[in-house]
Amino acid sequence: MGLELAAVLTRPRAASRSCQRATMASQPLRLAEEYGPSPGESELAVNPFDGLPYSSRYYELLEQRHTLPIWAARFTFLEQLESNPTGVVLVSGEPGSGKSTQIPQWCAEFVLARGFQKGQVTVTQPYPLAARSLALRVADEMDLTLGHEVGYSIPQEDCTGPNTLLRFCWDRLLLQEVASTRGTGVWGVLVLDEAQERSVASDSLQGLLQDARLENLPGDLRVVVVTDPALEPKLRAFWGNPPIVHIPREAGERPSPIYRDTIPPDRVEAACQAVLELCRKEAPGDVLVYLPSEEEISLCCESLSREVESLPLQRLPPRVLPLHPDCGQAVQAVYEDMDARKVVVTHWLADFSFSLPSIQHVIDSGLELRSVYNPRIRAEFQVLRPISKCQAEARRLRARGFPPGSCLCLYPKSFLELEAPPLPQPRVCEENLSSLVLLLKRRQIAEPGECHFLDQPAPEALMQALEDLDYLAALDDDGDLSDLGVILSEFPLAPELAKALLASCEFDCVDEMLTLAAMLTAAPGFTRPPLSAEEAALRRALEHTDGDHSSLIQVYEAFIQSGADEAWCQARGLNWAALCQAHKLRRELLELMQRIELPLSLPAFGSEQNRRDLQKALVSGYFLKVARDTDGTGNYLLLTHKHVAQLSSYCCYRSRRAPARPPPWVFYHNFTISKDNCLSIVSEIEPQMLVELAPPYFLSNLPPSESRDLLNQLREGMADSSAGSESSSVQEFRDPCVLQ
């Protein structure tokens, strides 16, 4: 967890916190600087948030805060927050200026000065890791206890309490809360941080606020939008010229980027060699390496960890640290003070978040790997593309200082000038919008296209989302949310997975479906090939004959039986942190089902009846994701469009020692178009079950194909059989009547 986190969590509590707050509430409204002591004041100065004396660490951190560029804008910001009649304040500043740590504290002081009458401060972040990390840092700077006055809310982890005044929150989780019956609590100030990241939730929250759609929020809500200067003009126009607080540029020289003549054929090798060269020169300062993907981050970390041990250095060998969403709480290691040099290897996650003052050298690949959803074929593309000019500048600024550090760009200067867009791509134009449209419908927005967005999504993306929700019975005949759709919107799951979970109530397989929903969301199986024959054998022991979905249940149960042992996971190439998240999510989903009083069922995994029931529940949600092997060789034609795909290399049907003929019909969790078009998380299905459970109009709307013809023939045959059974039943009923 780290020494810093432990210190924040173990700060002693004051029994008279409510009395202290009542005292503050009785005082006249004052600007927050009246409450904050200076380092020269008495050591007995009392923290107004918890009634305890300030510690010596508070004064040390306060001196550091005074040196931040944003500190010069403190009075201006508080004045605008207090007096602006529109309630919206825009804050514009470069990465590393202190926006993300200081603005929330000043908003908390603003709420404190108002006597806590208008509720808490909520700060959104585009990444869960950033929300946790910032909550930890801000609690330390405010001399408060994490989980009490300062807290955070991220998936499967709510570190808040009844006295929480300042909450950091993943923006998508907040959007879910806004739309669901869980509500939003009472807000005094809402801070939308890192708006330039253009996440779906951040853009949507701005649209809802701008349209005044959040009727349950207080009328005098203050909204603070924090952004990089590159997005400032767009935000200013969107919000109708609100007051803007400009943060002065950080003192320190900016490094001149060093460009390569050509793009290296092996980015990982080029980045490793650049790091090793810095280590050989023993240039002071930590190193930040940007690569496109988590796979390349892992390869780079493994290679560097081997190489640095053999370097002839006069100091401790560098410590290589990955930084990406799967790091979990281990991310705090990048902030720890250590004698050895730190080499942090990351990707787009750290373009604007995770400011690291010790960084003096940046190595930038200039690329990012992103998933881009194509609504026409319901598939995700893995797109390797240039970063934006805004991101490139943010990366370069990581190495500024006195003297400036270095910034090595593993690409020619012309590459960025000719191919890079000015700003990051808005994610609302690149993601599947089904979940978003479901939430907008929950807010009684009849036409999602009418909602204001910074950039309007493509009409076909909205239409595809509406069509999918209609197929899932989430919409009624008027296009509003059905009763089923209201329940679907309560779950933090993709709509098709939520529908499968609800269907499990009907088919008596809730226990197994809860496990599967958690695993598909948090820990979808193996993510790399086995490293040895022993590991491959251990993996095969976890495979289930019914396919990948049942294999995931088997993996989870074996993980729980192992006592959630990390070594057990490592021996099988499983992600221990992801499985722990799946365990937490399963518990959260179970509590949610109990809260809305949905029926549960006892475990029955392994029985033949449970096998069929689980298939029925899954098909009820995943009938949109079915494919048929057209030639018996594993070339699967997708039903909803005429793309051909193969099974993923991690699919259990491909890893068996003596593979039989591939399943003729399968349903899948994901279809990804990359180097090889592949279906991931696949299980066999009987076409009769698809005809039985899919809406008839869905089958009728399928594009012409041999598969559609086969399904329609089955449907007609089943209809004739059903009609014959009814006729026979009527005759059996009539005959006894005649005899009587």
State pLDDT tens for residues 157-169: 999 998 899 999 9
Tell me the two tokens of residue 546.
């019914």
Of 64-73, 164-173, 417-426, 725-734, the range with the lowest mean pLDDT is 725-734
Task: Kindly tell me the burial class for residue 364, based on how many C-beta atoms sit within 10 Å of its own C-beta (0-12, 13-18, 19 or more).
Answer: buried
Residue 9 has pLDDT above 50, yes or no: no
Look at strands 665-673 and 626-629 and give their pairing: antiparallel
Residue range 575-611, pLDDT digits in tens = 888 899 999 999 999 999 999 999 999 999 989 999 9
pLDDT of residue 726: 53
Give the architecture (CATH level 2) of 257-425.
3-Layer(aba) Sandwich (3.40)
d(CA 627, CA 643): 10
Question: CB neighbours (10 Å) of residue 253?
Answer: 12
What is the rounded average pLDDT of the residues 453-461?
A: 91
pLDDT of residue 126: 95
- Looking at every residue in the chain, the average pLDDT score rounds to 86
Tell me the two tokens of residue 571.
């021996």
Look-up of token digits 């499985």: 579
Residue whose C-alpha is closest to residue 683's, from 509, 512, 548: 548
3-state secondary structure of 36: coil
Residue range 235-247, pLDDT digits in tens = 999 999 999 999 9
Confidence of residue 739 (pLDDT cuts 50, 70, 90): very low
d(CA 496, CA 669): 10
Question: CB neighbours (10 Å) of residue 315?
Answer: 10
What is the rounded average pLDDT of the residues 43-60?
A: 89
User: pLDDT over 90 for what percent of the chain?
Assistant: 59
Confidence of residue 446 (pLDDT cuts 50, 70, 90): low
pLDDT of residue 185: 54
Residue 63 has pLDDT above 70, yes or no: yes
Task: Kindly tell me the burial class for residue 184, based on how many C-beta atoms sit within 10 Å of its own C-beta (0-12, 13-18, 19 or more).
Answer: middle
User: pLDDT over 70 for what percent of the chain?
Assistant: 87
pLDDT of residue 188: 84
pLDDT of residue 25: 44
Query: Phi and psi at residue 710, in whole multiples of 5°?
Result: -65, -40
Look-up of token digits 């002065």: 248
State the pTM of this model: 0.87
Reduced DSSP (H G I as helix, E B as strand, rest coil) percent helix, strand, coil of the chain, to 5? 45, 15, 40
What is the rounded average pLDDT of the residues 143-161?
A: 93
Tell me the two tokens of residue 19.
């009395």
Task: Kindly tell me the burial class for residue 606, based on how many C-beta atoms sit within 10 Å of its own C-beta (0-12, 13-18, 19 or more).
Answer: middle
d(CA 387, CA 419): 9
What is the rounded average pLDDT of the residues 192-197?
A: 96
d(CA 538, CA 569): 10
CB neighbour list of residue 30: distance below 8 Å, 6 or more residues apart: 113
Residue 16 has pLDDT above 60, yes or no: no
Find residue 638's DSSP bridge partners.
Answer: 627
In the chain the first and final C-alpha atoms are separated, in Å, by 82
Confidence of residue 344 (pLDDT cuts 50, 70, 90): very high
Which residue ranges make up each domain of the chain?
A: 56-246, 257-425, 491-618, 626-721
pLDDT of residue 423: 92
d(CA 102, CA 274): 35
d(CA 81, CA 104): 12
Residue type, 213: R
Residue range 651-684, pLDDT digits in tens = 888 876 555 678 999 999 999 887 678 899 999 9
Tell me the two tokens of residue 92.
């514009």
Query: Phi and psi at residue 554, in whole multiples of 5°?
Result: -65, -40
pLDDT of residue 130: 93
Residue 277 has pLDDT above 70, yes or no: yes
Of 9-13, 232-236, 472-476, the range with the lowest mean pLDDT is 9-13
What is the rounded average pLDDT of the residues 164-185?
A: 81
pLDDT of residue 34: 46
Residue whose C-alpha is closest to residue 389's, from 231, 588, 525: 231
> Could you write out the three-class secondary structure of 328-359?
HHHHHHHHCCCCCCEEEEECHHHCCCCCCCCE
pLDDT of residue 649: 83
Tell me the two tokens of residue 670.
């994901």
Query: Phi and psi at residue 260, in whole multiples of 5°?
Result: -85, 155
Look at strands 367-374 and 379-386 and give their pairing: antiparallel
pLDDT of residue 153: 94
Is 257-425 in the same CATH topology as 56-246? yes
Give the architecture (CATH level 2) of 56-246.
3-Layer(aba) Sandwich (3.40)
d(CA 481, CA 260): 54
What is the rounded average pLDDT of the residues 472-501?
A: 94
Residue whose C-alpha is closest to residue 382's, from 648, 195, 642: 648
Kindly give the residue spans of alpha helices, DSSP state H, lying in 489-562.
495-506, 510-522, 533-540, 548-561
Tell me the two tokens of residue 728.
């026979």
Q: Are 614 and 517 in contact (CB under 8 A)?
A: no
Residue 184 has pLDDT above 80, yes or no: no
Look-up of token digits 């193996």: 526
d(CA 309, CA 324): 24
Instruction: Tell me the CA distances in angstroms from 12 to 7, 146, 286, one per residue in order.
Output: 10, 11, 35
pLDDT of residue 22: 46
Tell me the two tokens of residue 274.
């650049």
> Could you write out the three-class secondary structure of 558-616?
HHHHCCCCHHHHHHHCCCHHHHHHHHHHHHHHHHHHHHCCCCCCCCCCCCHHHHHHHHH
Confidence of residue 229 (pLDDT cuts 50, 70, 90): very high
pLDDT of residue 269: 96
Question: CB neighbours (10 Å) of residue 16?
Answer: 13
Residue range 494-514, pLDDT digits in tens = 999 999 999 999 999 999 999
Bond prior to 459 in cis (omega within 30° of 0): no
3-state secondary structure of 627: strand
Residue 28 has pLDDT above 50, yes or no: no
Residue 81 has pLDDT above 90, yes or no: yes
Residue 118 has pLDDT above 60, yes or no: no
Confidence of residue 722 (pLDDT cuts 50, 70, 90): low
